[in-house]
Amino acid sequence: MPAEQRNRIVVVGASAAGLMAAETLRREGYDGTLTLIGAEPHPPYDRPPLSKQFLTGRWEADRLTLRSPRDLAALRLDLRQEASATGLDLTDREVCLADGTRVPYDGLVIATGVRPRRLPGDGAHVLRTLDDALALRGRLAPGRRLIVVGAGFLGAEAAAVARSHGCEVVLLEPARVPLAHAVGEPVGMVLAQLHLDQGVTLRCGVTVTETTAGAVRLADGETVEGDTVLVAIGSVPNTEWLADSGLALDDGVVCDQHCQAGRGVYAAGDVARWHNPLFDTSMRIEHRTNAAEQAMAAARNLLHPESAKPFAPVPYFWSDQYDVRVQAYGWLRGHDEVAVADGDLAERRFVAVYRAGDRLVGAVAVGMPPKTIHRWRQAIAARAPWREAVATGL
């Protein structure tokens, strides 16, 4: 972006990625107008604790806030809360808001994230925002029955918290083995057994077609009743406002390896689909670490396109369920093989590693100290050959 055009940068999305983009722009020396647009009424806050510390009640909302009012003021932001973007004009370089305002930009970072996927019917809870978590937390009490639709990481975490509150939990999952598509059947079965051992009623291979406030209907006509229903069946990228913009959209905002989606337009976080050259594939990552790292990369490349660097991370995520921590590095989707490299599945203390082609592409640690998996991360980043990595155990 030429120096004479560095007067107005707009960041759409005021969660972790949007805030990190704004901070990076200031840290890199950008001194012009910086507008941060967010749809929620709350200042930027952290989302991962919503299904963990906040849902349990150990944390309150003030601990989720990412920056203090003083820190936000230091960024000299034109902060617009409760403002929804409804359109993007690439020709005139303007972001259109729901109230009719048009915000001009010279550079743009799209960080609008995702929203929960829903099912037909009314009354079910979802878990994405602070308000969602507050509403669900108020429903968790001893003796109540929570139905969780979807046994992915979010649904599993919510189920674990509900059990800690003394709730009866029914966990419904369409796949034969929970999380098999992501971590493989052996690891998925271990995580499933973890919930069974805690008294969760886990039903796999069932499809929910409709929800109400206290029941769900299955594809075979059966009704499963409870006090509260939580739907956790994945997310949808918030890209509708870009439908007529001319940007490429494909389950997210399509970007190149530099996170660039168009002239002077970059994307970061859950909404961004970019080409990761480390794995030579297009990916969209819905994890907190990626949101921060990608936002920094997008902001730097926006300011310095002449020296833009590819964004080629080893993706990372974690999940806390009961007293077990799950950590994962790499790109596990579409893997060809999974093997246990350390520990024992039966003891729920192990590292599983993943192969795609002839390369090591991922590692998952369950119940292991962080240092145990770090060396596998380094091997993934180094494009280690599978046979060598497994043979040596690193």
Q: What is the pLDDT of residues 30-74, one digit of tens each?
A: 999 999 999 999 999 999 999 999 999 999 999 999 999 999 999
Q: Are 183 and 332 in contact (CB under 8 A)?
A: yes
Residue % of the chain over a pLDDT of 90 = 93
Nearest Cα neighbor of 50 from 85, 79, 15, 20 is 15
The pTM of the full predicted model, rounded to 2 decimals, is: 0.95
Could you give all domains of the chain from N- to C-terminal order, each with its CATH number?
3-115+235-307 (3.50.50.60), 118-231 (3.50.50.60), 323-392 (3.30.390.30)
Confidence of residue 391 (pLDDT cuts 50, 70, 90): confident
| Residue 6 confidence (pLDDT) | 59
Q: What is the pLDDT of residues 291-325, one digit of tens each?
A: 999 999 999 999 999 999 999 999 999 999 998 99
pLDDT (0 to 100) of residue 393: 67
What percent of the chain shows pLDDT beyond 70? 98
Residue 243's Cβ-count burial label (10 Å; 0-12, 13-18, 19+) is exposed
Strand stretches in 205-247, DSSP E: 208-211, 215-218, 223-225, 228-231, 235-237
pLDDT confidence of residue 2: 47
Which residues, listed in sequence order, are joined to residue 80 by a DSSP beta bridge? 37
Pick from 384, 266, 366: nearest CA to 323: 366
**C-beta of residue 172 within 8 angstroms of C-beta of residue 208:** yes
pLDDT for the residue numbered 394: 58
In DSSP terms, which residues pair with 11 in a beta bridge? 36, 109
pLDDT digits (tens, 9 = 90+) for 199-223: 999 999 999 999 998 999 999 999 9
The answer, yes or no, to whether residue 193 has pLDDT greater than 80, is yes
